[in-house]
Amino acid sequence: MNIAKVIVDVPATQTNRLFDYNIPEYLLGAIKEGMRVIVPFGPRKVMGFVMELTDHSDFDQLKDIVDLMDVVPVFTKELLDVGKWLTEKTLSFYISVFQAMLPQALKATYKKELHKLTNEGLSDALTKMFAGREFMSYEEFTERKGDYRKLQQAVQEGLIEINYLVKSKETKKKETFITTNLKPFQLEEEIANLSNQATKQKQLLEFFAEHPEPILQSKLVSRLHTSRSTIKQLIDKGFLVENKVEVYRNPYQEENYERTTALPLTEEQHNVMIPIYENLKSGEEAVFLLHGVTGSGKTEVYLQSIQRALENGKEAIVLVPEIALTPQMVKRFKGRFGSKVAVLHSALSAGEKYDEWRKVQRKEVQVVVGARSAIFAPFENLGIIIIDEEHETSYKQEDHPRYHARDVAIYRGEQHSCPVILGSATPTLESFARAQKGVYKLLSLTKRMNNASMPEVQLIDMRNELHMGNRSMFSIALKDKIEDRLEKGEQIVLFLNRRGYSTFVMCRDCGYVIECPHCDIALTYHRNNESLKCHYCSYEMTMPTSCPDCESKTIRYFGTGTQKVEEALTQLIPQARVVRMDVDTTRRKGSHEKLLNQFGNHEADILLGTQMIAKGLDFPTVTLVGVLAADSLLHLPDFRASEKTFQLLTQVSGRAGRHTLPGEVIVQTYSPDHYSVEFAKTYNYEGFFKKEMEVRKTFHYPPYYYLTLITVAHPNQVKVIETTKKIAQLLAKHLSSEANVLGPTPSPLTRIKDRYRYQCMVKYKNEPNQRKIIKRIVTFFEDDIRQNDLQISVDLQPYQLM
Ligand SMILES: Nc1ncnc2c1ncn2[C@@H]1O[C@H](COP(=O)(O)OP(=O)(O)OP(=O)(O)O)[C@@H](O)[C@H]1O
Ligand SMILES: [Zn+2]
Ligand SMILES: [Zn+2]
């Protein structure tokens, strides 16, 4: 096997294939599949992944691999296969997929350096810059404003050579340990030989006479109140030795977690465990959908399933949504499984993540708890995969490669013949429909743990507030109840959707929202020409000046931000202490935790926030939850708006009354009759499911139909429109007559970073050739993509229709 087939780190259509390289003599046998190598590519050197080893190549004159970056493969055979499958499934580049599967730290960095080959004939400026050195980084050359033409000339004349360096970003943390090689009696001798003045040195040697085992230098210094220089003197004399030992950056110290043991299960929990145990035992793959109301004890079911998998000598992956990966959550898993757990969280530094990942690679842990990308944890003996809050959209990556962690979980579950559990109080329609068909096995938890009923939900019709002359964003009922809780010393959670981003037009008088007659989504307001557009099918109308339903003039654009709400709140109820949690206040590392702690310690009365406060929070004194504007979710230009509203209202309501104090929920809305609001009020998931399925069927949406979303972006608007039009035409021409191609139409976010964005969408049932067709279409625009900054992105499973 002297030839390696390699995927190179150059994400482009022409390079999206295997390249053959010759393995030089000295690397024969050392290079294995799944390792990173450095290979020559054009004038440069790049990182590559070895996919296969072979004896035969169709090309002759292969170039040699330059270097090997790993001792142990970074990909297992299984993960190489997962990567190939995912590349095909998401129409991505191999390199993007494989990079996404590894921790950041294993990405390559590229550097150029200048190598001075001779002292003769070099210009004075360059000679001065090198200052006697043989090498200089290219960075230094540009920083010091070197003359590019002189450099080019020197390179042409062979005076200077440019080297391309490829390095991995990974760093390992090392710590210094001190120990002694001397026997205790030798130490005693040396102590006796030391002069009487050398008390510090004596003290150290006496310590080692009693404790000969290696000790961390920093510990030694603080324990003996000694200094680094005293230690150094003894090292120089040969009495002590120092060793640099690699240690993990450990953001989660085990000793901080109190150990817990399995709780005796309730009858419901027990019934749910039986089929899971069966599958764990038989080693058969199966996907379970665990539908359990908020606070029903799903986590305990996960914990005990994992425990069983571990007892069988297997490993477990648990995915939790990014924003739910709170210290509370980590505590539950570390508490049960201690040092068997690695945590892969995006808030960790690249180094910390790399270390956690390596614990998996080295088989030092058996459980991984993490966000989306933890699904690629390099376990080789998986026994169970769990996805908590399976309805969360953060499991879908909205960037290349556009993969859904659920698909990867199910694929890996098949490879390892192990069960996958999808858990949620509000499963996606897709998953619940599959469970109804028997593709997934449905497991239900219908009761709350404390046997308390779900908190009562009161709907406040904001149209009435307006009619009563209340123009503030707080209804009278909400204001009264907030004041009541403040008096009682209880806490309140106020929820506002998003960061004030909304695009629809609504009548404040009657709640009427202008929708597309064809697509059942709210029309999007376009300020520049005062028009309303459907961004699915491009239906368009001019912005009306009065409500089409009640003729009121109060029809307008809808939206407020958290900051505005905070201001209004402190004006209305000045004595309230408010913690605001949104993207702006949680940007800094650790601020998320800090704000939550502040609220948890009751240093504030009201937690005001966006999506990120909707889940996972478990505070005993929260007895009131207020949803300020349910409408801002309900009328997002997205066919999943109703589903998202139902999910969110249910989750937010679940934050109240989780312990002994009963909870109450106030939902303010202009659409109290909307079915997703009504079903959420009574916690009726099945009712919502049935109704929403009918809507999806009528308007041809998933799960009845599949969607493909193609978004085109370019600084020139005309070019974007032309390209999108062409793509839509090509799709319509080559797909079957059953497929419905919609668009082109402006994306709801019409301009991002100075690029105009247009999109087209395909609704279809069965188009086996679609991938091939789309690939060909993208290839058709290849030159524009490469040279003219055109972007075409294809999403075969769109969630964010923005
Ligand atoms: N068998 C049990 N006996 C006693 N307490 C339990 C048991 N199972 C779970 N609990 C406790 O009940 C509470 C709610 O459980 P948990 O948080 O797991 O619910 P959940 O279904 O995950 O809720 P959510 O969807 O809101 O996150 C927790 O405090 C948990 O420790
Ligand atoms: Zn109206
Ligand atoms: Zn439409």
Residue 257 CA, ligand 3 centroid: distance in Å: 53
Question: Was 510 annotated as part of a binding site?
Answer: yes
For 113-132, what is each residue's pLDDT tens digit?
888 888 788 888 888 888 88
Residue bearing tokens 């109703």: 642
Distance 535 CA to ligand 3 centre (A): 7
pLDDT band at 253 (very low <50, low <70, confident <90, very high): low
Which stretch of DSSP H or E encloses residue 456?
strand 456-461
Q: What is the pLDDT of residues 136-173, one digit of tens each?
A: 888 888 888 888 888 888 888 888 888 877 777 777 77
Burial of 151 (0-12, 13-18, 19+ CB in 10 A): buried
- Which ligand is nearest the CA of 618, by number? 1
> Which CATH class, in words, describes the domain spanning 254-445?
alpha beta
The whole-number pLDDT of residue 631 equals 84
Nearest C-alpha neighbor of 377 from the set 386, 367, 389, 391: 367
pLDDT digits (tens, 9 = 90+) for 187-196: 888 888 888 8
* Nearest ligand 1 atom, CA 651: 26
User: What digits encode the pLDDT tens for the residues 354-364?
Assistant: 999 999 999 99
What per-residue confidence (pLDDT) applies to 255?
Answer: 62
| Ligand 3 geometric centre to CA of 723 (Å) | 21
Domains 254-445 and 456-499+561-695 share a fold: yes
The amino acid present at 277, given as its one-letter code, is Y
Query: Which DSSP state fits 171?
Result: -
Of 540, 538, 537, which is closest to residue 762 (Cα–Cα)? 537
Q: Within a 10 A sphere around the Cβ of 225, how many other Cβ atoms?
A: 8
Where does ligand 1 bind, in terms of residues with CB under 6 Å? 263-266, 269, 292, 294-300, 425, 449, 654
State yes or no: cis peptide before 703, omega within 30 of 0: yes
- Among 165-169, 202-206, 382-386, 535-539, the minimum mean pLDDT is found in 165-169
Choose which residue among 260, 265, 272, 296 to substitute to test ligand 1 binding: the one with the highest number of ligand atoms within 8 A of its C-beta: 296
CATH of domain 456-499+561-695: 3.40.50.300
65: its two tokens: 């691999």
All structural domains of the chain with their residue ranges: 3-107, 110-166, 254-445, 456-499+561-695, 503-558, 706-795
- CA 366 – CA 379 distance, rounded (Å): 8
Which ranges constitute the DSSP H helices of 704-749? Answer: 717-734
How many Å lie between the centroid of ligand 3 and the Cα of residue 699?
Answer: 10
Is the distance from CB of 480 to CB of 460 less than 8 angstroms? no
CA separation, residue 344 to residues 286, 294, 358, 671 (Å): 25, 25, 11, 40
Q: Is 29 exposed, middle or buried (0-12, 13-18, 19+ CB in 10 A)?
A: exposed
Q: How many Cα atoms within 13 Å fall on the side-chain side of residue 791?
A: 17
Class for the domain spanning 3-107: alpha beta
Bridge partners, residue 5, by sequence = 20, 52
Closest ligand 1 atom number to CA of residue 332: 31
Res. 520: pLDDT tops 50 = yes
Residues whose Cβ atom is located within 5 A of ion ligand 3: 516, 518-519, 534, 536-537, 539
Query: What residues have CB less than 8 Å from 769, skipping those under 6 apart?
Result: 734, 735
Q: Relative to the alpha carbon of 538, which ligand is closest?
A: 3
Tokens of 270: 């027990």
Q: How far is CA 698 from the centre of its chain?
A: 33
Is the pLDDT score of 644 beyond 70? yes
CATH superfamily of 706-795: Ribosomal protein S10 (3.30.70.600)
Rounded distance, CA 370 to CA 395, Å? 11
Q: What are phi and psi of 230, to 5 degrees?
A: -65, -45
What integer is the mean pLDDT of 674-687? 94
- Give the predicted TM-score (pTM) of the model: 0.84
What was the pLDDT predicted at 499? 44
Find the mean pLDDT for residues 172-195: 84
What's the pLDDT at 363? Answer: 93
Residue with the two structure tokens 């305990």:
300
Ligand nearest to C-alpha 507: 2
Pocket test for ligand 1, best of 449, 451, 619, 649 (most atoms within 8 A of CB): 449
Cα(302)–Cα(305) distance, rounded to whole angstroms? 5
> Rounded to 5 degrees, what angle do the CA atoms 454, 394, 339 make?
85
| DSSP 3-state of 109 | strand
C-alpha of residue 276 to centroid of ligand 3, in Å: 43
Cα distance between residue 245 and residue 293, in whole Å: 48
Whether 665 and 455 have beta carbons less than 8 Å apart is answered as yes
Question: What one-character-per-residue DSSP string does 659-677 give?
Answer: SSS--EEEEEES-TTSHHH
pLDDT in tens, 7-19: 999 988 889 999 9
Copy the structure tokens of residue 521.
Answer: 């989504």
Please give the Cα distance from 47 to 495 (Å, whole number).
Answer: 46
DSSP states along 496-525 = --TTS----EEETTT--B-B-TTTSSBPEE
Average pLDDT, the chain: 89
Give 525's contacts (C-beta < 8 A, 6+ positions apart): 503, 504, 505, 532, 543, 557
| Token pair of 437 as six digits | 């068909």
With contact defined as beta carbons under 8 Å apart, do 679 and 691 qualify?
Answer: yes
Give the tokens for residue 566: 């905070």
The answer to the question of whether 516 is labelled as a binding residue is yes
Tell me the CB-side half-sphere exposure of residue 705, using CA atoms within 13 A.
Answer: 19
Q: Was 760 annotated as part of a binding site?
A: no
Tell whether the model's pLDDT for residue 647 goes beyond 70.
Answer: yes
